[in-house]
Every structure is written in structure tokens, then in C-alpha cells.
Amino acid sequence: MSLVAGDTPGAFQPPVAQRDIKAEVIYCVGGVLSPLLCNVYLHRLDRAWPAAEHGVLVRYADDAIVMCATREQAEAALERLTALLAGLGLEPKAAKTRIVHLAEGEEGFDFLGFHHRLVRGWTPKSAHLTFLARWPSRKAIQHARDRIREITGRSRLLLWPELIVEDLNRFLRGWAGYFRYGNSARVLGQIRNYALVRLASWLSKKGNRRRAWGWGIKQVLLSPDHMGLISLDGTVRPPRPFRDWRGNTEHRR
């Protein structure tokens, strides 16, 4: 419908108050738009960061690390980062902010679900080398165990075993797909074994054999393909110096 000259158009919606905008932003935290909103808001931080003076800033959404050459530079970088965030109305989370000295035998740090640590080579050919290794962090491992426990919980005893295995495989594929690029073969093997044990426990409970846990294990192990539970052996691709990061596959030892 066209408007007559001189008429005042009516409002399509009531005015949006500031508190409503804040509520919408808070509602997005943890959602699919959360990383995008962080990148938009923290773009000013990326542009203002003086890499030549304070080290290299690596950021994904609201997680960031700064790589420095000396402790003095790291302390100055933390002070500068705090000042820049204060200008945006933000501040670093004290529980997750610290200075780490990467050296053999020293502590590492967690970033984007991985634990990063400087280690010495584990084989005779690499024993004289030190390199930055990475594998799933303790928090990521605990999340995986919690999710597997949820999939094989008592509340799902009425489902068919095939559906439980399908859900386990879907989670294991996604989890391994993210953590495969690193030194994660041992951890992935442990998580897969935990899924196998939980599947056996679920089968025992479903068959009213709660005290016969070994019965469930036999059902899984005697199955030609472990009842269809996927194997994660051979999925990890460890980093190698001077090689493409999607290099050779590491098998669990």
C-alpha cells in the first residue's frame, strides 16, 4: 500500500531498548554466532596490537595467546593486552591468564582444546630433538568421557544396541576429526577403549546382567567388528618439521 503525501508512516515495531539489546547479545553467548560476534568486536584489538614490540598475537574468538621471546616481553605484552581490552570494556579472565615458559620439563598451556608442551623426541632417532607437541587437554578428555557416559546412560536402555553404537561412532568421528592433527594417538586410543567399556556395561544392564560385566565385554569382543564400533587407530596425523601439516599418519603404540 502506497503512502499519501503528508501522512506519517507508522512504526513497524516498538522501539528497542538498550536492555533488550544486551539480552540478545547475552543469549548469543555459547551459540553459533558467538565466535562471529567476538571476531567483530575484537577486530580493533587485532589492528592495534604491536606485534614487533610485544610478540605475535594468535586469537580465535575470545581465546588468545601471545608468543614472546623473553619473560620481560611477555610481561609487557600482558600489560598492553590488558590496557587494550580495557578500552573495549573487557578484561582478561584471571583464572585463564598466565605467563608460561616453554622449556623441556616445564609446564605447558591449553589452547583451543589442545595441551601444548615442549618435549623431547620419544624414539631413538628423535631423542636428540625437542619440539612443541600437542594432544587433547584434560578438560577435552573429560568432556569426551562425559559425552560417552551420557550416550550409554541408563535412560537409554530401551534403545536398540545399533542406535547406541551409531551415536558413539558419530561422536568419536567428530572428536577424532578435530584432534587428529597433533600427537593424539594414545589419547584417542584411550577414548575409544573407554567407549568400548561403556558399551559393554550398557549391554550388561540392558540384559539384566548388572553384576555380570564380563558378559557385556564378551558380547563386544567376540563380535567380528566390536558390534560396529569404529576404530581410531591410524587416524592421527602428527606434525613434522618442514612437512605439510597434513602429513603421514601416526599409529597408536
Question: pLDDT, tens digit, for every residue of 159-212?
Answer: 999 999 999 999 999 999 999 988 899 999 999 999 999 999 999 888 776 566
Give the pLDDT band of residue 3 (cuts 50, 70, 90).
Answer: very low
- C-beta separation of 73 from 55 below 8 A: yes
Give the pLDDT band of residue 59 (cuts 50, 70, 90).
Answer: very high
pLDDT, one tens digit per residue, over 78-105 is: 999 999 999 989 899 888 899 999 988 8
CA distances from 206 to 18, 113, 151, 199 (A): 53, 34, 14, 10
The whole-angstrom separation of Cα 75 and Cα 47 is 20
How high is the pLDDT of residue 29? 56
pLDDT at 76 over 70: yes
What sign does the CA torsion over 106, 177, 122, 133 have? Answer: negative
How high is the pLDDT of residue 95? 87
pLDDT, one tens digit per residue, over 106-124 is: 889 999 999 999 988 877 8
